[in-house]
Amino acid sequence: MASTESGTAANTLVDFGITGDLAHKMTLRALYRLEKRGLLDCRIIGVAADSWTLDHLVEHAKEGIAASGEKIDDEVFGRFVKRLSYISGDVTDDSLYAKLAEELGPDARTVYYLQMPPSLFGPIVEKLGEHKLLDGARVAVEKPFGHDLDSARDLNTRLRAVLAEEQLLRVDHFLGKSPVIELEYLRFANLALAELWDRKSVSAIQITMAENFGVEDRGRFYDPVGALRDVVQNHLLQVLALVAMDPPAGAGADDLRDKKGELLRAVRAADPKNYVRGQYQGYLDVPGVAPDSDTETFAALRLEIDNWRWAGVPIYLRAGKALAERVTEVRLHLHRTPKLAFLPKGGEAERNQVVLRIDPDPGLRIALTAKADQTADWTPLTLDATFGRELGEPLEPYERLLQAALVGDAQLFAREDSVEESWRIVQPLIDSPSPLHVYERGSWGPEKAADKLGHGHVNWHQPWMPDEV
Ligand SMILES: NC(=O)C1=CN([C@@H]2O[C@H](COP(=O)(O)OP(=O)(O)OC[C@H]3O[C@@H](n4cnc5c(N)ncnc54)[C@H](OP(=O)(O)O)[C@@H]3O)[C@@H](O)[C@H]2O)C=CC1
Ligand SMILES: O=C1O[C@H](COP(=O)(O)O)[C@@H](O)[C@H](O)[C@H]1O
């Protein structure tokens, strides 16, 4: 196994897949933005199959960065380009690694970033090992990490045969989102939140990831995957781990990851009876989708956590494409207060809620109840904070993750145990998928999701949307 120097800043980023879609849409822009902030301190060696010239790659990068809405500063872009070189070749071919070794030279402290088809993660890492290119290096691999529990275990075994766990960074871009990172601080640095964060106060947790667009041009990728594997197994369960874990005992990457792993271990394997699958009308016409596809574009499920903090609190997750809004949020419903005689109508007020909006326009809402003068009834009262306004503009997820990979901070990457536990949790839903319900584009998914999962608890709440400007 290669030796590890986790924590040592890299001076070289080898970007496998630099000509691909993710690079074009997101990661080249993230590197450019790091350059603009003065946070990029390495050379970048791009690797892909295309026999492009460096000039072609530079033009392609510039066009992709501009198309993402980023205003390009020529001086910054010039500095960024000076860092770039490009090697073309097939990653299954040994000659590529000979070229790479020559380009790296003896002094490289390298991060290999694999934004590549996942079937190539194993072969690339093994070739790097065979060519003795892994000593002191880190390897960041994109999602998905496996397509079920067995394949995730196999991939772990294969990668761990040549890499120490500290060298392996499993990317989940949700872990780079600032409100997701903020969860740990908000929860544990504020008594006002910390004291109500358990089953004594919380009656249900709902996590929603809604997208108001369909699969568009990604049919070939999406159809064999579906919503459960695409975003629930990874993004939503990672968020749940941060929402529900106990406080880490220290500041190290493993202190946090220990607590996340512990929480996920306490989540019961999902029950197919508490799972609703949907497919939006028109999905079957998307190019690349099988004409009789049974793939879900919507998944809603109820989970339970067997520990002292959360026993008996239903955890609802839902994610879908072509829904009414684009919004991702975490919502805690608190218990009802007693029916006190002096309160309006002597009746029940709405439950208080705590909402963390992850996207768009991250923020925190506390939903309370008041009685306005002159009225005989309850009036909702919300206390809202918008992080952008209060806390300043954050790094974008890929800026943060690429920078963390380069400086050797593993905290924002998923560890082996949490990835495998997440697959264990959703595996029964993969093995026994529930029936598929077709839903209208622009709706909130199949009505079944509300009926079937909500009964006896709380129904899905309309997400908190940013104010119209
Ligand atoms: N696209 C997205 O929005 C997202 C993608 N991801 C993940 O990122 C990874 C990459 O996805 P994406 O960019 O969409 O994929 P693409 O198919 O667009 O790009 C794949 C890259 O891999 C290169 N490649 C493929 N096979 C070989 C080979 N044998 N030898 C050398 N290079 C090769 C391609 O080079 P060439 O073009 O020259 O053939 C290309 O640069 C995947 O794991 C995906 O799941 C994660 C989140 C979002
Ligand atoms: O990983 C993925 O995430 C995106 C959503 O990411 P976001 O940062 O825009 O919320 C999702 O659209 C895609 O299907 C999935 O592969």
| Long-range contact pairs involving 441-447 (C-beta distance under 8 Å, separation at least 24) | 441/214, 441/280, 441/281, 441/282, 441/322, 442/212, 442/322, 442/323, 442/324, 443/323, 443/324, 444/210, 444/323, 444/324, 445/276, 445/278, 445/298, 445/300, 445/318, 445/320, 445/323, 446/276, 446/278, 446/298
Report helix, strand and coil shares of the chain as percent, to nearest 5. Answer: 40, 20, 40
Cite the active site residues: 235
Residue 352 beta carbon below 6 angstroms from any ligand 1 atom: no
The residue whose CA has the least distance to atom 4 of ligand 2 is: 231
pLDDT at 247 over 90: yes
**Residue (of 166, 125, 116, 180) closest to 144 by Cα position:** 116
Query: What pTM was computed for the model?
Result: 0.96
Instruction: Quote the CA–CA distance of 406 and 246 in Å, as a whole number.
Output: 28
Q: What is the pLDDT of residue 420?
A: 98
Q: In angstroms, what is the span from residue 322 Cα to ligand 1's centroid?
A: 25
The DSSP 8-state label assigned to residue 288 in this structure reads T
Q: What is the pLDDT confidence band of residue 254, given thresholds at 50, 70 and 90?
A: very high
Q: 243 among the known binding-site residues?
A: no
DSSP strand E in 49-155: where? 84-88, 110-114, 138-141
Q: What is the pLDDT of residue 339?
A: 77
User: What ipTM was estimated for this complex?
Assistant: 0.98
Instruction: Quote the CA–CA distance of 29 and 393 in Å, as a whole number.
Output: 16
Residue 231 beta carbon below 6 angstroms from any ligand 2 atom: yes
Task: Compute the mean pLDDT over every residue in the chain, rounded to the nearest whole number.
Answer: 94
Q: 132 among the known binding-site residues?
A: no
Adjacent-strand bridge partners of 274: none
Contact between 186 and 250 (Cβ < 8 Å): no
Q: 143 among the known binding-site residues?
A: yes
Residue 142 beta carbon below 6 angstroms from any ligand 2 atom: no
CA–CA distances in Å: residue 210 to residues 235, 277, 392, 461: 13, 14, 25, 13
Q: With b meaning 16 or more CB within 10 Å and e meaning fewer, what string describes 434-443?
A: bebbebebeb
For the chain, the residue count is: 469
Instruction: Quote the CA–CA distance of 334 and 313 in Å, as a whole number.
Output: 10
Residue 331 beta carbon below 6 angstroms from any ligand 1 atom: no
Contact between 73 and 88 (Cβ < 8 Å): no
The rounded percent of the chain whose pLDDT value lies above 90 is: 87
Q: What is the pLDDT of residue 43?
A: 98
The bound ligand whose nearest atom lies closest to the alpha carbon of 25 is 1
Of ligand 1's atoms, which has the minimum distance to the CA of residue 171?
Answer: 46
Distance in Å from the first CA to the final CA of the chain: 55
Chain segment 49-98, per-residue pLDDT in tens? 999 999 999 999 999 999 999 999 999 999 999 999 999 999 999 999 99
The C-alpha R_g of the chain, in whole angstroms, comes to 23
The residue whose CA has the least distance to atom 14 of ligand 2 is: 230
Contact between 170 and 38 (Cβ < 8 Å): no
Contact between 116 and 46 (Cβ < 8 Å): no
Of ligand 1's atoms, which has the minimum distance to the CA of residue 118?
Answer: 43
pLDDT at 28 over 60: yes
Q: What is the pLDDT confidence band of residue 3, given thresholds at 50, 70 and 90?
A: very low
Chain segment 328-381, per-residue pLDDT in tens? 999 999 998 887 777 766 567 788 999 999 999 999 999 998 887 777 778 889
Residue 379 beta carbon below 6 angstroms from any ligand 1 atom: no
Residue 90 beta carbon below 6 angstroms from any ligand 1 atom: yes
Classify the C-alpha dihedral 289-123-164-141 as positive or negative: negative
Of ligand 1's atoms, which has the minimum distance to the CA of residue 114?
Answer: 9
Greatest mean pLDDT among 148-157, 341-350, 448-457 = 148-157
Q: 91 among the known binding-site residues?
A: yes
The residue whose CA has the least distance to atom 29 of ligand 1 is: 90
pLDDT at 448 over 90: no
User: φ and ψ at 21, to 5 degrees?
Assistant: -65, -45
Instruction: Quote the CA–CA distance of 431 and 444 in Å, as a whole number.
Output: 26
The bound ligand whose nearest atom lies closest to the alpha carbon of 180 is 2
pLDDT at 469 over 70: no
- In angstroms, how far apart are the furthest CA atoms of the chain? 81
Q: With b meaning 16 or more CB within 10 Å and e meaning fewer, what string describes 296-307?
A: bbbbbbbbbbee
Instruction: Quote the CA–CA distance of 445 and 298 in Å, as a whole number.
Output: 7
Q: What is the pLDDT of residue 252?
A: 95
